Structure formats: structure tokens, C-alpha cells
């Protein structure tokens, strides 16, 4: 991979790293310390502690390869290269440009929605239960759809049916939750203005 390709790859991941960097600026300690707050990597004024790197590994953003025993493993080299480019972008004021701020805003909105939906899905998952009559009713519908053709016994496909019924109930609960949010929202659309955009 040549330098240009490497830089393109870095730029493609820079938005995700920028969130980490913004949160870590100035959070490093002195090199004399030991433990989680011991500085593991420094790039110019940025100090990343052992704890910072552990958190990034746990989040899945950094993926060290146990087989990579080089003094500067690939994940670390990529992290340093990204930070060098981010610092240069900040030096040139890219992080204050309108287009960049809009990009960050879009990313922030997507991340916010994803987190909300994930949280709601987990909540609904703990509340949804599949009962035997629901399983049997679903099995009867499957049998009717076969038009007299043989079907596996319920005992053989019970788990699959329970999983499908659960998925349907969770989907319905998510849809009802969003419908409730929409009903509670005050929405106004100027159709003439919208029509001019079509």
C-alpha cells in the first residue's frame, strides 16, 4: 500500500478517531506514573494513557493482533498516523470549517439515533415473552399454508417458531413505540415550500 492509499484509508476513519481525540486532549499524565493512567503513546501534545487505549480496544475501535509482535504493531502505527493527520488538520483550521462541522453533525445524529434504537431494542427484548398458545397458533397457520402437505412436528421446530414470534412481537413493539413518539410530536409541513424542492 503506497502512502497516498494509506492516507485515504486514514482519512476514511478519521471522523471516528476525532471523537476519541477530542475527549482525550490534555487527559494524559506524566511518564513517571504507572498503572492505567501511565502514558502509553504521545504524539506532540496529545497524551494517550494505558486506560485510554484499553477503552478503545474494549469498544472495538482498536484491534491489536496477538501475532503482531513488532516493536510498533500495525494498530499502533495506524493510530499514530491518524493523530498526525488530525493534528495537521486542526492546525490548518479544517475542524472549524462549515463543511467539516456539518459532517460531524451528521455523524453525531446517526450515532445518537443508533444508540437510542439499540437501547430501546434491549429494553423491549426484556419485556417480550412468547407463550405456548402463540407458538401453537403460529404452527397451525404454517400447517394451513401447506395445503395438506406434511409439516414437521411442532416439537422439531418449536425453537424456530418461538424465535419468529418473538421477532414479530419485538418489531411490533418498536413500531408502536415510534408511532407513539410521532403522535406526541408537533409536526408542521409547509407543502408549498416542499413542493418547490421536487
Q: Within the chain, where are the H helices?
A: 3-24, 50-59, 74-91, 98-127, 132-145, 154-184, 191-196
- 87 and 23: one domain? yes
Pair 177, 120: CB distance under 8 Å = yes
Query: Could you give the 3-state DSSP secondary structure of residue 42?
Result: strand
Q: Domain count of the chain?
A: 3
Do both 15 and 90 map to the same domain?
A: yes
CA-nearest of 171, 6, 155, 17 to 79 is 17
Query: Are 150 and 194 found together in one domain?
Result: yes
Q: Which residues pair with 80 in a beta bridge?
A: none
**Last-in-domain residue among 96, 115, 139:** 96
Please indicate, yes or no, whether residues 106 and 186 belong to a single structural domain of this protein: no
Please list the ranges in the chain whose pLDDT falls under 70: 1-35
* Separation between Cα atoms, residue 161 and residue 170, nearest integer Å: 14
| Residue that finishes a domain, picked among 96, 116, 139 | 96
Asked if 91 and 111 sit in the same domain, the reply is no
Residue 90 to residues 18, 43, 100, Cα–Cα distance (Å) = 10, 14, 11
Q: Are 89 and 22 in contact (CB under 8 A)?
A: no
Dist CA 132 CA 158 (whole Å): 10
pLDDT at 68: 78
The torsion angles phi and psi of 49, rounded to 5 degrees, stand at -85, 170
- My answer on whether 86 and 56 are in the same domain is yes
Is the domain of 67 the same as that of 102?
Answer: no
* Residues 38, 86 within the same domain: yes
Considering the domain architecture, whether residues 16 and 48 belong to the same structural domain is answered as yes
Which tens digits make up the pLDDT trace of 129-181? 999 999 999 999 999 998 878 899 999 999 999 999 999 999 999 999 999 99
Same domain, 163 and 198: yes
Do 101 and 138 lie in a common domain? no
Average pLDDT for the chain: 83
Same domain membership, residue 191 and residue 178: yes
Q: Which domain holds residue 164?
A: 130-198
Amino acid at each position: 500500500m503506497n502512502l497516498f492509499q494509506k492516507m485515504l484509508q486514514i482519512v476514511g476513519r478519521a471522523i471516528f478517531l476525532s471523537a476519541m481525540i477530542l475527549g482525550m486532549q490534555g487527559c494524559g499524565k506524566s511518564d513517571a506514573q504507572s498503572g492505567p493512567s501511565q502514558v502509553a503513546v504521545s504524539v506532540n501534545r496529545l497524551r494517550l494513557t494505558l486506560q485510554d487505549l484499553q477503552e478503545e480496544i474494549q469498544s472495538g475501535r482498536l484491534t491489536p493482533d496477538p501475532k503482531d509482535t513488532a516493536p510498533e504493531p500495525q494498530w499502533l502505527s495506524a493510530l499514530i498516523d491518524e493523530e498526525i493527520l488530525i493534528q495537521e488538520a486542526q492546525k490548518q483550521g479544517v475542524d472549524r470549517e462549515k463543511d467539516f462541522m456539518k459532517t460531524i453533525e451528521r455523524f453525531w445524529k446517526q450515532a445518537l439515533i443508533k444508540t437510542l434504537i439499540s437501547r430501546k431494542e434491549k429494553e423491549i427484548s426484556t419485556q417480550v415473552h412468547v407463550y405456548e398458545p402463540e407458538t401453537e397458533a403460529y404452527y397451525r397457520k404454517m400447517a394451513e399454508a401447506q395445503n395438506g402437505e406434511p409439516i414437521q412436528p411442532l416439537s422439531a421446530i418449536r425453537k424456530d417458531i418461538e424465535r419468529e414470534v418473538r421477532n414479530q412481537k419485538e418489531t411490533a413493539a418498536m413500531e408502536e413505540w415510534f408511532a407513539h413518539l410521532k403522535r406526541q410530536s408537533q409536526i408542521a409541513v409547509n407543502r408549498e415550500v416542499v413542493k418547490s424542492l421536487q
